[in-house]
């Protein structure tokens, strides 16, 4: 994740949260006698001095499915955090297990990072507080639910659910087991995006009727994904790749190594498409700015094309959230248009872009006031999650926020797949008078891989 581009904003964001040698019995007695008069020495690190954190105060973390994105977060956020002790990794692919172990062991200067193929063995460990998971889309909800059932708090990458039903189950599991959960919608914690959202929330833009959310480029994939299988290849031994566990709840298909190397991101059974890829970020931004954490749009327009640029999703209050390719420069952009001005933000901005400079005249104060009002005082999205692990406070990308914004993703996908406009009931969480669409709110898991709370 890129560092804060605005140094003053970074400062405000930061200040807001202000084998022993064996001895024979004779040698042992001799050494013990000679040591009686010596003072007992405790390393400063064990007491939390010299900038260290005492072991009793550390958050013990383990990872499940840390690939490219997961390893980036591991290096940037997990390992540098002095309150975190990363102790184990689980991955069904040996190459990834060994990559993560090497990173962790090199950081700590030891060989202690444990490795697991079966996540149930890792989750059975009582010393682990937090699970960081960054599997492919198909496993995000399942791993999160299993971890919460095992008494762990969870930080999961996005898109954090494959279906509306999965999102409901994540919400239910977090409530049932009293766990802290954060989805990797990290832009909700980045200062420029926070100020962008605050300008709308504080009424600085006047009456807002349209908000725009970026979609992933059409070159990544479309809405209508592949439903065929890659050619079969010889299946490796389980210790190299546990293919059955890699597939998990999704429909079976023969092994092909390309699936492991992100080839899954064109497959209907494994991926949420271009709407899910960035909509899991940008739709969440719009939900957050509009105060729509607990609801979803009631109308979804079908665009009758594989890349639904211009797709309108209308909330019950009439505000339209529109999927768009532009209105900003950079990736994962949002733009909010009101009667008294507009604001836009995307990755790489040093400041949000606004219709008039006066909207950003008190940028620093907006950030500071936001910290005080919300308590979201982390230096980054993971840090904000770890603060909540300690305090048990609600996270910004909490289960409800994740679920309702991902519901927008799933409903938009279903409208496109069925080729018609859809009406949604946010209270009942179902489409209105549309049994065919409602059957698509869940997917039947493979026998033996059901997700239960």
**Structure tokens, 404:** 């309702």
Q: What is the pLDDT of residue 357?
A: 97
Query: Whole-angstrom Cα distance, residue 430 to residue 37?
Result: 75
**Most confident option among 16-25, 106-115, 213-222:** 106-115
User: How many angstroms separate the most distant Cα atoms in the chain?
Assistant: 87
What are the φ and ψ backbone dihedral angles of 106, each rounded to 5 degrees? -65, -35
Query: Whole-angstrom Cα distance, residue 385 to residue 153?
Result: 9
* pLDDT at residue 31 is higher than 60: no
Confidence of residue 378 (pLDDT cuts 50, 70, 90): low
Q: What is the pLDDT of residue 39?
A: 37
| Inter-residue contact 159 to 272 (CB < 8 Å) | yes
Q: What is the pLDDT of residue 213?
A: 98
pTM across the whole model: 0.89
| pLDDT digit string, tens, across residues 424-439 | 999 999 999 999 999 9
* pLDDT at residue 286 is higher than 70: yes
Confidence of residue 220 (pLDDT cuts 50, 70, 90): confident
Domains of the chain and CATH, by start: 188-222+271-379+398-441 (3.30.360.10)
Q: What is the dihedral of CA 71, 74, 76, 79, to 10 degrees?
A: -150
């Amino acid at each position: 994740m890129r560092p804060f581009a605005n140094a003053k904003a970074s400062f405000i964001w930061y200040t807001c949260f202000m084998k022993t040698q064996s001895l024979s019995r004779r040698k042992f007695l001799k050494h013990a006698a000679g040591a009686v008069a010596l003072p007992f020495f405790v390393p400063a690190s064990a007491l939390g001095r010299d900038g260290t954190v005492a072991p009793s105060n550390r958050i013990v973390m383990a990872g499940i499915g840390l690939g490219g994105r997961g390893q980036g977060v591991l290096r940037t956020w997990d390992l540098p955090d002095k309150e975190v002790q990363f102790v184990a990794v689980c991955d069904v692919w040996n190459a990834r297990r060994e990559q993560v172990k090497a990173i962790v062991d090199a950081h700590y200067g030891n060989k202690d990072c444990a490795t697991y193929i079966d996540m149930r063995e890792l989750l059975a460990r009582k010393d682990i507080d937090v699970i960081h998971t960054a599997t492919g889309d198909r496993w995000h909800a399942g791993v999160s639910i299993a971890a919460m059932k095992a008494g762990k708090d969870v930080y999961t990458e996005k898109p954090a659910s494959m279906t509306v039903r999965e999102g409901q189950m994540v919400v239910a599991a977090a409530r049932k087991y009293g766990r802290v959960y954060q989805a990797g919608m990290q832009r909700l914690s980045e200062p420029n995006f926070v100020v962008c959202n605050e300008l709308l929330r504080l009424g600085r833009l006047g009456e807002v009727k349209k908000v725009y959310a970026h979609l992933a480029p059409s070159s990544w994939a479309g809405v209508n994904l592949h439903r065929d299988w890659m050619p079969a290849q010889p299946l490796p031994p389980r210790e190299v790749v546990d293919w059955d566990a890699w597939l998990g709840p999704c429909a079976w298909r023969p092994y092909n190594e390309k699936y492991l190397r992100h080839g899954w991101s064109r497959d209907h059974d494994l991926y949420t498409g271009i709407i899910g890829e960035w909509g899991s970020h940008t739709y969440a931004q719009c939900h957050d700015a509009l105060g729509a954490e607990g609801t979803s749009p009631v109308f979804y327009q079908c665009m009758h094309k594989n890349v639904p640029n211009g797709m309108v999703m209308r909330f019950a209050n009439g505000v339209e959230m529109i999927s768009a390719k532009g209105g900003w420069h950079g990736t994962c952009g949002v733009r909010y248009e009101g009667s008294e001005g507009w604001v836009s933000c995307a990755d790489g901005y040093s400041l949000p872009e606004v219709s008039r400079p006066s909207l950003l005249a008190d940028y620093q104060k907006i950030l500071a006031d936001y910290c005080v009002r919300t308590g979201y005082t982390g230096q980054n999205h993971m840090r904000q999650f770890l603060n909540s692990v300690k305090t048990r406070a609600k996270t910004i990308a909490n289960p409800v926020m994740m679920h309702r914004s991902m519901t927008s993703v799933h409903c938009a996908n279903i409208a496109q797949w069925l080729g018609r406009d859809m009406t949604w009931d946010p209270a009942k969480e179902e489409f209105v008078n549309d049994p065919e669409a409602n059957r698509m709110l869940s997917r039947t898991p493979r026998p033996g891989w059901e997700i239960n709370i």
